[in-house]
């Protein structure tokens, strides 16, 4: 069997383009059904037969559009990863840093609010993506360079700029700070939407608390 080529940024961009512009209404229905079922049941739990029934097509029709289940999974899971690092978000964050009085807390609040807002559009699919990322070597190897280019790199650049401007302590290791931010935000998302999905959560308040902790620490002042 021919080995599949490693995923590249171009693959992510192509899947995102096809998601936004499906070839037909049948393809749109298949992808919509797949998104819903994969989000609720996971990649293994959502069968192509069930996806086809939900989309109102035969399984044979589904495979005409997507030769394998893996192809369909790629269409569902790759675009959200790409949209998580849209450049307009970084432009907005960098513009904020040029605003008089803007500090690290304001930057983190906007950064995290944008991320959580995007994830909240389909939190079940986001959780499924993270689970698949942990278990799917092909997806993980493909996602890693995209994440570095679209999220990790710009985040470190922003933190370094703030450090040069005196908005972040000079003795802080920027890479360590970026890792802490990533861990806090990822942990919040998982608890908020997976372990304790309570509608009483107040994201604005919680983000403010996380921003305070990062800005001032947890020790008594």
Exposed, middle or buried: residue 112 (CB in 10 Å: 0-12, 13-18, 19+)?
Answer: buried
Statement: residue 55 has pLDDT above 80:
yes
User: Each residue of 173-220: pLDDT tens digit?
Assistant: 999 999 999 999 989 988 888 877 777 889 999 999 999 999 998 877
- Residue 79: closest CA among 145, 144, 16: 16
Mean pLDDT of the chain: 85
Alpha helices in 152-197 (DSSP H): 153-164, 174-190
User: Each residue of 90-119: pLDDT tens digit?
Assistant: 666 667 656 666 789 998 998 898 888 877
Distance (Å) of CA 29 to CA 21, 35, 41, 67, 83: 12, 10, 18, 16, 21
Statement: residue 1 has pLDDT above 60:
no
- Domains of the chain (ranges; CATH) run 9-78 (1.10.10.60), 84-216 (1.10.357)
What is residue 199's predicted lDDT score, i.e. its pLDDT?
A: 74
């Amino acid at each position: 069997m021919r080995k599949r080529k490693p995923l590249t940024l171009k693959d992510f961009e192509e899947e995102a383009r096809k998601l936004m512009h499906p070839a037909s209404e049948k393809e749109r229905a298949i992808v919509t059904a797949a998104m819903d079922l994969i989000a609720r049941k996971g990649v293994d739990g959502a069968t192509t037969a069930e996806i086809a029934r939900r989309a109102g097509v035969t399984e044979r029709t589904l495979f005409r559009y997507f030769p394998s289940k893996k192809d369909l999974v790629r269409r569902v899971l790759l675009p959200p990863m790409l949209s998580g690092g849209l450049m307009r978000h970084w432009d907005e964050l960098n513009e904020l840093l040029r605003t008089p009085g803007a500090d690290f807390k304001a930057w983190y609040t906007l950064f995290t609010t944008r991320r959580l807002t995007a994830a909240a559009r389909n939190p079940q699919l986001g959780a499924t993506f993270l689970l698949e990322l942990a278990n799917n070597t092909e997806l993980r190897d493909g996602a890693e360079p995209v994440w570095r280019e679209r999220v990790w790199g710009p985040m470190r650049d922003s933190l370094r700029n703030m450090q040069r401007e005196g908005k972040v302590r000079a003795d802080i290791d920027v890479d360590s700070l970026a890792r802490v931010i990533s861990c806090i935000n990822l942990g919040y998302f998982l608890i908020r939407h997976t372990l304790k999905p309570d509608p009483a959560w107040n994201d604005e308040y919680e983000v403010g608390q996380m921003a305070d902790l990062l800005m001032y620490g947890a020790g008594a002042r």
